[in-house]
Chains A and B, each alone.
Chain A
């Protein structure tokens, strides 16, 4: 897989930068930036409302983008709702899913706060019961642990495909089967999975899938909730307003029948078009190639971290994203991140919005996270390793 560094303006402008914070947000290629900008320079109108040619063209572009993004995860356009991000998608599910018959939701300790918090709030309000699956000492959650918690009382299983702390994933196809065998539905947080692995909504028999554009080369402020049509029809939108209704009288509202009833108000059209371009970019690279490249980066990252004597959290498997959380024994994570920044290495420090997960992995005071993507090379990782050696001397 060949990605040109100068295809990414941020890397082009910062030749010595090694960007290893892609799990937080990815850098954007020129193609995406130009696609997003094209809305403002060529269209600038409302979609689905105005009958003038710019309005019609905008609508066409937005619907093309919907098809591209839905197609990227093996779904149909009519199954995709535009959201601001993964968090919004998960909140829609948490707040409009029907928990009247079954109240039990099963999730895991390894989740992002965006998964945990909406359902913890429902639990605290007495609307659901929440079961949390723990990981073992290595940070692994085997299917058997899930099987212990998922039963006939379960309404919904909510978990990640790949997580943002250990860089490992769930077998979503198996989990979906487990949920369905018990009459439950499954909602997948794909924020960390969709950008890095081929995701197939239909093949894996998922019910809900939420993901964000900005973690997969797309613009910020745009994401998607993909849901099987029969489930989508049963959900109530969080917001209502312009664009969500067929007719309105002061006595009665008749909502639109399709998924646009979730898209109240004028939308982030430029983001949608940019998101579509990001999917095109990744599709052109081939997600199998992205996966292979990341596995190579992951291997190199682990070697460098081990050579520097860092404490590396989570399982060390061959099937690993190019993402590792680590610490140095005598240093605070934030200090390490600042020191790396001084050497032109961008990493994240803290709890990565997944405090229970990091604590479960043994990083009670947080950790440093290095996460690579398609624009990183093994040379980048070696450079990172050289800097880690200096830090080893500093903190050793």
Chain B
């Protein structure tokens, strides 16, 4: 019976993706249900799983197979508890992600699997992998001489970069003279039309109107990811850009080389998720709360 609990959980998840696991999930459910109603489990699922495991082990190590066979119930309980702990931990992660934007909790600077990830995910996955950039070129705001320098790598079609946007605006409003903010576009390939959006914002920056366009893009992110250039041009018009200049810049890919520089800088910094911030070189991954940024700035003497 014990094993059926795990089987039910695992096969239920697998059956979402493949119909062939559904009969096994049903068997697991029947076994768990019967056990809960104090009836003997009659599906034989646990016995089949046991024989599958033990017979495979028997080929390589009869001693280990014998031990597993003898203590199968105890081992099954261990895995049940492990499964329950895993579920509890996942639920805690989802709770954190919902409230703090990071599944590791409000004070964590680590990456969360639920955040958007770059193609480098897997190669780099920890804040300790990140290398702070020294170059301060990009879309800038604030006091260049300020002691606090915040560099952000973000993607305009990433929902988490969008989420961090308002935090940055509030931060700039509150610490305007005390911080220097540099935004480096880092379009992620898994977000449709992220390159086009980044090029467009750099074109808008030439007209000194990057805030206006990026605000429109973030507002209409769904439309932007669906319709690409068509939507971007329409949003540029809404943002009040000089469309002749914009179209010339955008259609001729005038900002492509600049964007490539930022992308390379992001890769050199081992960016694996957006948004990623460096506050005086200290990495912060994911859309953190305003309080969290304030705390970091205070620590940096801001």
Contact = CB atoms under 8 A, between A and B. Distances in A.
B48 interface: yes
B1 to A, nearest CB: 14
A390 B58 contact: yes
B47 A338 contact: yes
A334 B47 contact: yes
Contacts of B65: 394
A338 B51 contact: yes
A350 to B, nearest CB: 11
A231 to B, nearest CB: 43
A395 interface: yes
Contacts of B58: 339, 390, 393-394
A138 interface: no
B298 interface: no
Contact of A335 (B51, B56, B62): B51
Interface string B47-73: 110111011101000100110010000
B44 interface: yes
Nearest to A393: B62
B62 A394 contact: yes
B66 A339 contact: no
Size band of the interface chain A makes with B: 10 to 19
Contact of B44 (A334, A390, A393, A396): A334
A390 B69 CA distance: 13
B125 to A, nearest CB: 39
Contact of B51 (A342, A390, A395, A396): A342
Specify the main secondary structure of chain A where it touches its partner.
helix
A341 B51 CA distance: 9
Interface string A205-230: 00000000000000000000000000
Contacts of A342: 51-52, 55-56
Contacts of B44: 334
A201 to B, nearest CB: 41
A395 B50 CA distance: 14
Interface string A344-385: 000000000000000000000000000000000000000000
A40 to B, nearest CB: 31
B74 to A, nearest CB: 16
A377 B69 CA distance: 31
Contacts of B48: 338
Contacts of B47: 332, 334-335, 338
B54 A394 contact: yes
A343 interface: yes
A395 B69 contact: yes
B177 to A, nearest CB: 74
Size band of the interface chain B makes with A: 10 to 19
B68 to A, nearest CB: 10
A394 B55 CA distance: 10
Contacts of A339: 51, 54-55, 58
Contact of A343 (B52, B55, B62, B66): B55
A395 B51 CA distance: 13
A284 to B, nearest CB: 39
B52 A390 contact: no
Interface string B24-59: 000000000000000000001001101110111010
Nearest to A342: B55
A340 to B, nearest CB: 9
Contacts of A394: 54, 58, 62, 65-66, 69
A327 to B, nearest CB: 15
A233 to B, nearest CB: 46
Residue from the set B47, B48, B54, B55 with the largest chain A CB neighbour count within 10 Å: B55
A339 B48 CA distance: 9
A342 B69 CA distance: 15
Contacts of A341: 51
Contacts of A334: 44, 47
A341 B98 CA distance: 49
Residue from the set A341, A342, A343, A394 with the largest chain B CB neighbour count within 10 Å: A394
A332 B56 CA distance: 19
Interface in A77-124: none
A268 to B, nearest CB: 31
A373 to B, nearest CB: 25
Interface in B247-283: none
A342 B51 CA distance: 8
A390 B59 CA distance: 9
A338 B50 CA distance: 9
A174 to B, nearest CB: 43
Contacts of B56: 342
Residue from the set A332, A342, A395 with the largest chain B CB neighbour count within 10 Å: A342
Nearest to A392: B62
A384 B58 CA distance: 15
Interface in A16-67: none
B50 A335 contact: yes
Interface in B171-187: none
A394 B63 CA distance: 7
A339 B58 CA distance: 10
Nearest to B49: A338
Contacts of B54: 339, 394
A308 B54 CA distance: 19
A332 B51 CA distance: 12
Contacts of B50: 335, 338
Contacts of B51: 335, 338-339, 341-342
Interface of B: 44, 47-48, 50-52, 54-56, 58, 62, 65-66, 69
23 contacts: A334-B44, A334-B47, A335-B47, A335-B50, A338-B47, A338-B51, A338-B55, A339-B51, A339-B54, A339-B58, A341-B51, A342-B51, A342-B52, A342-B55, A342-B56, A390-B62, A393-B62, A394-B62, A394-B66, A394-B69, A395-B66, A395-B69, A396-B66
Given A390-B58, A390-B62, A395-B66, 11 more contacts: A332-B47, A334-B44, A334-B47, A335-B47, A335-B50, A338-B51, A393-B62, A394-B54, A394-B58, A394-B62, A394-B65
The 3 closest A-B pairs by CB, nearest first: A342-B55, A338-B51, A393-B62
